């Protein structure tokens, strides 16, 4: 079986993959044909980068041999099965890859797609609490006073006792809920399931299905959007839902920009109805220079990097190595986490 | 019994105290004789404030009747028992009041001193994680990029997997340790007890007594100082202890400024040996204008307010009301949390 490494990877992880089965696995790794990394665990490289015609030829000669892909190749201009006619399995480096898999023409094929669902839960949950604590403990105010060398005793809020609404209790949402409970917050989760037993299985104080969303929005002091993007969740938070929120609410969006109406959110941030927002995702990315979000004092902009952590490739390698063993043994049904091509995540 | 309210308090809490026993308790509350509040749960008022001679006379006439004090009166110039000759019990609004009780001349008297130990654990632990996440998730970098409208994908660290050293596993330290565990950190606690069973009772991964401090400092990625100030802990972290720390360590001091050698700490912050410090306490407070700490990019200065939370007076009232019932019933031994006048906390 030929494994082609299609996004930048540290040599130590390549070696771990090779070591799974020297006889049956051949790993094609040509870092010179991959985009340069802008940061640890960069999987796509800069938008301006491209291969020379010679590099592109060599790259395509490499892909054509692949049975297995480490990651969806960035910037491919042809359907993936034309580039990799022998392709049987792709391991992606992120979780919500429904749209990319669709664009690559794999949605209605038998190619197995395993994702990295789960590995971003810890860094994303940490970003959520970095944001909520930044707001609640009034860190921006401390920074202002520090710049002025002003010693001003003050009082801050507390997460303890606040109500946290987790929209989308998947692996990330469950991690957010768990840490929220550790901080003594009341946690409400909103999900797609109608099963009331979800409250207990999620370990939250209250569980509501989508029909209860507007009501739940009105109870929350802090709202975390961490649902996948699907036709159901697109534009799920519109003018009406924002109006239903409590004045002074704090919002964190680590889902996708299209989940919330950005214009309505900006207006609510300007009026203070939403007191604070930490945003990892936007309607258009990169966030356009002219967006008012950049200069709003009650907004923290993260360039869609909240999930990126130094340990990321180590964790994807762990998933990949386990799946490679299953794949070689023909235990395809045990491969996990599998992309549900219908749901798109 | 006469209760004198000796620091600013909301009328709703005064009413809760009065309601304990209308017949046996008389509450003296003269907000006009108390310092103005600079923020919610301010107990001392501004340093520049003083009573007029007339107000001071009325204030002393009030104190002389007190059997019980809500808080140590700020800025008293005479020993407390001269001002309150009938005094039997003081409820303080903070925890580490050994030095103030000493200065008030109560250390070697039979006056009961109950403290607010415990109520600051939640807000202080939240400040600790606000600080550690601010550093780990590189929020200052995000703020710089946001000011420049720069979309720069990046990679941040994680608390998960880091080693957290809690120096002083009292009520605050235990709360810090508990949340550290929830974030998936390895937690080491350093305390005064020699009992190895402390590891389990504290719920930490490792427990060491003071003799193991230097070694533990060398293992930590994050160090939180939250011990009381006693002759034992004064200057406990000197040049040698700072040198024992790992390069790149993050430090949070919510104990007292005198616990660490400030000059040595500043040098280590300048060289980057200590990568980041969040400081709620300082050798001299207010922190002098000329201190280099104000302008260091890797320092977050909190004006000794990390423990202050909106819910503070509600929590002290809860403690006070419970103790007042015990006091009225003569159940003095049940009053809690009691100041250990020998230990000073």
Residues of chain B neighbouring A160 (CB-CB closer than 8 A)? 122-123, 126, 311
| Average model confidence (pLDDT) across chain B | 96
Report the chain A residue with the minimal C-alpha distance to residue B185: A122
pLDDT in tens, A8-31: 999 999 999 999 999 999 999 999
Q: Which of A156, A159, A309 sits opposite B155 (nearest CB)?
A: A309
On the question of a common fold for A2-118+309-334 and A121-301, the answer reads yes
Report the chain A residue with the minimal C-alpha distance to residue B125: A183
Superfamily classification of domain A2-118+309-334: NAD(P)-binding Rossmann-like Domain (3.40.50.720)
Residue B89 near residue B112, CB atoms below 8 Å: yes
Q: Model confidence at A210, in pLDDT bands (50, 70, 90)? A: very high
Kindly tell me if the per-residue pLDDT of B60 is higher than 90.
yes
Residue A6 near residue A20, CB atoms below 8 Å: no
- How far apart are alpha carbons B274 and B268 in whole angstroms? 5
Strands laid side by side in the B299-301 sheet: B206-209, B186-191, B163-167, B222-225, B249-253, B274-279, B299-301
> Closest Cα to residue B236, out of B272, B191, B275, B268?
B191
CB contact under 8 A, B156 and A42: no
Min Cα separation B151/chain A (Å):
6
Residues of chain B neighbouring A182 (CB-CB closer than 8 A)? 178-179, 182
pLDDT in tens, B197-212: 999 999 999 999 999 9
Kindly tell me if the per-residue pLDDT of A345 is higher than 90.
no
Kindly tell me if the per-residue pLDDT of A195 is higher than 90.
yes
Residue tagged 């104000």 (tokens): B294
Report the pLDDT averaged over residues B154-183.
Answer: 97
**Strand pairing partners for A90?**
A69, A113
What per-residue confidence (pLDDT) applies to A47? 86
Percent of the residues in chain B that have a pLDDT greater than 70, as a whole number: 100
pLDDT in tens, B79-99: 999 999 999 999 999 887 888
Q: Which of A119, A144, A153, A283 to mutate to test the interface with B (most CBs of B within 10 A)?
A: A153
Kindly tell me if the per-residue pLDDT of B106 is higher than 90.
yes
Report the pLDDT averaged over residues B264-276.
Answer: 98
What per-residue confidence (pLDDT) applies to B47? 86
- How far apart are alpha carbons B226 and B29 in whole angstroms? 34
**Strand pairing partners for A188?**
A165, A206
CB contact under 8 A, A158 and B122: yes
CATH of domain B121-301: 3.40.50.720
Kindly tell me if the per-residue pLDDT of A76 is higher than 90.
no
CB contact under 8 A, A129 and B129: yes
Residues of chain A neighbouring B36 (CB-CB closer than 8 A)? none
What per-residue confidence (pLDDT) applies to A246? 98
What per-residue confidence (pLDDT) applies to A342? 81
Q: Model confidence at A174, in pLDDT bands (50, 70, 90)? A: very high
- How far apart are alpha carbons A46 and A36 in whole angstroms? 7
Phi/psi of residue B260, each to 5°? Answer: -120, 145
Residues of chain B neighbouring A289 (CB-CB closer than 8 A)? 149
Domain boundaries, chain A: 2-118+309-334, 121-301
Helices (H), chain A: 11-18, 53-63, 80-83, 98-103, 121-136, 139-147, 171-182, 198-202, 213-217, 239-244, 262-271, 312-328
Residues of chain B neighbouring A41 (CB-CB closer than 8 A)? 155
CB contact under 8 A, A154 and B303: yes
> Closest Cα to residue A60, out of A84, A88, A31, A87?
A84
CB contact under 8 A, B184 and A122: yes
pTM score: 0.90
What per-residue confidence (pLDDT) applies to B75? 81
Q: Model confidence at A152, in pLDDT bands (50, 70, 90)? A: very high
Phi/psi of residue A311, each to 5°? Answer: -85, 5
- How far apart are alpha carbons A138 and A157 in whole angstroms? 8
pLDDT in tens, B220-245: 999 999 998 889 999 999 999 999 99
What per-residue confidence (pLDDT) applies to A4? 98
Min Cα separation B89/chain A (Å):
28
- How far apart are alpha carbons A196 and A274 in whole angstroms? 30
Report the pLDDT averaged over residues A272-281.
Answer: 98
What per-residue confidence (pLDDT) applies to A344? 79
What per-residue confidence (pLDDT) applies to B186? 98
Helices (H), chain B: 11-18, 53-63, 80-83, 98-103, 121-136, 139-147, 171-182, 198-202, 213-217, 239-244, 262-271, 312-328
Kindly tell me if the per-residue pLDDT of A324 is higher than 90.
yes
Active site residues of A: 256, 285, 304
Q: Which of B146, B154, B294 sits opposite A146 (nearest CB)?
A: B294
Report the pLDDT averaged over residues B258-272.
Answer: 98
CB contact under 8 A, B305 and A156: yes
Min Cα separation A102/chain B (Å):
25
Kindly tell me if the per-residue pLDDT of A276 is higher than 90.
yes
Question: What's the 3-state SS for B126-152?
Answer: HHHHHHHHHHHCCHHHHHHHHHCCCCC
Kindly tell me if the per-residue pLDDT of B343 is higher than 90.
no
Q: How many CB atoms lie within 10 A of CB A267?
A: 15
CB contact under 8 A, A305 and B149: no
What per-residue confidence (pLDDT) applies to A196? 86
What per-residue confidence (pLDDT) applies to A96? 79
Q: Model confidence at B133, in pLDDT bands (50, 70, 90)? A: very high
What per-residue confidence (pLDDT) applies to A123? 97
Three-class SS of residue B227?
Answer: coil
What per-residue confidence (pLDDT) applies to A160? 97
Determine the angle formed by the axes of helices B171-182 and A171-182, rounding to 10 degrees. Answer: 170
Min Cα separation B29/chain A (Å):
23
Please name the helix (run of DSSP H) or strand (run of DSSP E) that holds residue A299, with its range, or none.
Answer: strand A299-301
Kindly tell me if the per-residue pLDDT of B169 is higher than 90.
yes
Report the pLDDT averaged over residues B33-52.
Answer: 93
Q: Which of B154, B300, B308 sits opposite A305 (nearest CB)?
A: B154
Q: Which of A126, A142, A149 sits opposite B159 (nearest CB)?
A: A126
């Amino acid at each position: 079986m030929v494994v082609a490494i299609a996004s930048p990877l540290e040599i130590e992880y390549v070696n771990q993959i090779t070591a799974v089965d020297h006889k049956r696995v051949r790993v094609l790794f040509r870092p010179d044909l991959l985009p340069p990394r802008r940061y640890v665990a960069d999987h796509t490289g800069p938008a301006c980068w491209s291969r020379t015609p010679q590099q592109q030829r060599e790259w395509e000669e490499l892909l054509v041999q692949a049975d297995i892909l480490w990651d969806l190749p960035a910037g491919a201009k042809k359907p993936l099965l034309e580039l990799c006619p022998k392709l049987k399995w792709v391991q992606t480096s992120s979780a919500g890859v429904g749209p990319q898999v669709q664009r690559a023409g794999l949605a209605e094929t038998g190619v197995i797609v395993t994702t990295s669902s789960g590995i971003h839960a810890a860094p994303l949950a940490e970003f959520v609490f970095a944001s909520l604590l930044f707001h609640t403990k009034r860190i921006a105010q401390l920074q202002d006073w520090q710049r002025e060398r002003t010693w001003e005793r003050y009082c801050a809020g507390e997460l303890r006792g606040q109500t946290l609404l987790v929209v989308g209790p998947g692996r990330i949402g469950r991690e957010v809920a768990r840490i929220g409970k550790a901080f003594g917050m009341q946690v409400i989760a909103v999900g797609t399931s109608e099963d009331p037993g979800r409250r207990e299985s999620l370990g939250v104080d209250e569980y509501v299905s989508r029909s209860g969303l507007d009501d739940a929005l009105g109870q929350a002091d802090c709202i975390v959007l961490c649902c996948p993007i699907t036709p159901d969740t697109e534009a799920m938070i519109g003018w009406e839902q924002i109006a239903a929120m409590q004045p002074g609410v704090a919002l964190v969006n680590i889902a996708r920009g299209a989940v919330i109406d950005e214009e309505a959110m900006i207006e609510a941030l300007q009026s203070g109805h939403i007191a604070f927002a930490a945003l990892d995702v936007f309607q258009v990315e990169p966030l356009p220079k002219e967006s008012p979000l950049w200069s709003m004092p009650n907004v923290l902009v993260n360039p869609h990097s909240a999930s990126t952590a130094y340990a990321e490739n180590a964790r994807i390698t762990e998933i990949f190595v386990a799946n490679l063993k299953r794949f070689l043994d023909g235990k395809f049904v045990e491969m996990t986490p599998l992309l549900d091509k219908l749901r798109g995540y």
